[in-house]
């Protein structure tokens, strides 16, 4: 988790001078698991980064690790305050 937080932190520092935002996308695999995205965002907030959020796409929100469409009400509770 710390490696991913550091990776997104560094990416945001590169994007910031150009006025670009970093948005985490709910895609397949580990990085698309809602709880993982929220944990990355919380880790960034601990480093003072408050402008990274989540973009959710139902089309890619399910694979062998997660199935957001099956339990979206629970997923929404977790991600709604982080949505862009």
Residue range(s) defining the domain that contains residue 46: 2-82
Residue-wise pLDDT for 53-66, tens only, equals 998 877 666 666 66
Quick one: how far is CA 73 from the chain centroid? 17
In this prediction, residues 10-29 reach a mean pLDDT of 89
DSSP state letter for 22:
-
Tokens representing 62 are 């399910």
DSSP state letter for 30:
G
Record the pTM. 0.83
Rounded Cα–Cα distance for residues 15 and 76 (Å): 27
Q: Could you give the number of structural domains in the chain?
A: 1
Residue-wise pLDDT for 68-79, tens only, equals 777 788 888 988
pLDDT of residue 1: 94
């Amino acid at each position: 988790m710390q490696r991913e937080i550091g990776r997104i932190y560094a990416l945001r520092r590169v994007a910031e001078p150009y006025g670009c935002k970093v948005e985490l996308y709910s895609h397949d695999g580990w990085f698309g698991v809602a709880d993982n995205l929220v944990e990355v965002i919380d880790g960034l907030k601990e480093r003072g980064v408050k402008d990274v959020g989540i973009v959710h796409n139902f089309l890619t929100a399910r694979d062998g690790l997660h199935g957001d469409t099956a339990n979206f009400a629970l997923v929404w509770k977790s991600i709604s305050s982080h949505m862009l």
